[in-house]
Amino acid sequence: MIVILKKNAEQQQVELFDNWLHSMGLETHKSIGENHTIVGLVGDTSRVDIESIMALDIVETVKRIQEPYKNANRKFHEQDTVITLSNGAKIGGGHFLVMAGPCSVETEEQIISVAQAVKAAGAEVLRGGAFKPRTSPYAFQGLHEEGIRLLLKAREATGLPIVTEIMDAKHLPLFEDIDIIQVGARNMQNFELLKDLGKLRKPVLIKRGMANTLQELLMSAEYVMAGGNDQVILCERGIRTFETATRNTMDLSVIPVLHQFTHLPVVVDPSHATGRWELVAPMALAGAACGADGLMIEVHNDPEHALCDGPQSLRPEKFASMMEKVRAIRPYADRSFTTGEGALG
């Protein structure tokens, strides 16, 4: 951490500041210039509150050098995290994982038939929503408990592990048998929920919020990991920009950047990022090419009658043809920042 002191900072206050930093176990190095004094803080600054320092009268500005996350930081954990699921599927360290299924669970027949279809095409995890965050209180909100029950039925029928979204910590008991718990974009900074998920010992998939920086995404992972749960998967699903031709702007450059910053696996969700099924395959291929560790894809056997997000769902046959191309591209993907070898499935 670097602190720039004001030109006219009082000597006495500077000494008090020095003493305070030393009391936290930090060393200080000063460079005194004509217009500014630069103080370099040496030691573990990850727990120093940058705002407290910025509030001091003698301080002009503060810049953090060391990242404020530790558990999620590749600097302190060089090897890629690899997560293994009940069916033996793996993600991270060169293992590529595809999660697919409908936006919402609707009926037993629907979820089982989609599960079979995506499994046949190569998906290794079934996705499906039981609790749906909807902008409107008047829109379909999901089947809730019944939806979870149907997902578990589909697991029974196909062997596919389940990923599904939680919207409130009070529903945690319902998620006991779920394989991967998803935190949606709107809850990425629901810190109370993240703390509760940190107490579990099962994979948590965190979607990046629509206005959240990569550092904030990593800090949300850090909330879960600080609780002792180190099975975290990150997911890019588009950010809010001025462009309206797509629902969100899919920020694919986060894939290599996240691989540089963290050892956690990173997947992309082109269905939510673009909001239009025609764009799902091109963006899934692009995600694979730049080194994503997996995909999350909406597939529906009858998108025209889906109870939500129909326009962004692929039919099973389109999904299957996309999967073939993904497999072809994966061996050539750029994974310069990861430590794992490339591998599909």
**6-35: which residues touch its own copies (CB under 8 A)?**
27, 29-35
Using the rule CB under 8 A, is 63 a contact of its own copies? yes
d(CA 314, CA 311): 8
- Selected range binding its own copies among 77-85, 90-98, 113-121, 244-252, rule: CB under 8 A: 244-252
d(CA 242, CA 256): 24
Q: How far is the CB of 340 from its own copies (least distance, A)?
A: 15
Using the rule CB under 8 A, is 172 a contact of its own copies? no
Using the rule CB under 8 A, is 174 a contact of its own copies? no
Of 15, 22, 24, 139, the one binding its own copies by CB under 8 A = 139
Largest CA distance in the chain: 75
Using the rule CB under 8 A, is 167 a contact of its own copies? yes
DSSP 291: T
184-213 positions binding its own copies, by CB under 8 A? 186-187, 189-195, 209-211, 213
- Taking the least distance from each CB to its own copies, the nearer of 109 and 278 is 278
Among 208, 227, 234, smallest CA distance to 83 is for: 234
Q: How far is the CB of 113 from its own copies (least distance, A)?
A: 18
Among 204, 233, 269, smallest CA distance to 81 is for: 233
Using the rule CB under 8 A, is 56 a contact of its own copies? yes
Using the rule CB under 8 A, is 282 a contact of its own copies? yes
- Taking the least distance from each CB to its own copies, the nearer of 194 and 297 is 194
d(CA 26, CA 206): 33
Alpha helices (runs of H) in 252-332, residue ranges in sequence order: 254-261, 270-274, 280-289, 316-329
- Pairing, β 204-207 against β 180-183: parallel
Determine contact, residues 90/84, Cβ cutoff 8 Å: yes
Of 82, 200, 226, 320, the one binding its own copies by CB under 8 A = 226
Residues 6+ positions from 265 with CB-CB distance below 8 Å: 80, 81, 82, 83, 91, 92, 97, 233, 234, 293, 294
- Selected range binding its own copies among 113-121, 122-130, 146-154, 280-288, rule: CB under 8 A: 280-288
Q: How far is the CB of 75 from its own copies (least distance, A)?
A: 8
Of 49, 78, 173, 176, the one binding its own copies by CB under 8 A = 49
99-118 positions binding its own copies, by CB under 8 A? none
Determine contact, residues 52/64, Cβ cutoff 8 Å: no
Using the rule CB under 8 A, is 329 a contact of its own copies? yes
142-273-77 Cα angle (round to 5) = 100
Using the rule CB under 8 A, is 304 a contact of its own copies? yes
The tokens describing 149, both together, are: 């029950």
Total interface residues for its own copies by CB under 8 A: 115
Of 105, 163, 283, 296, the one binding its own copies by CB under 8 A = 283
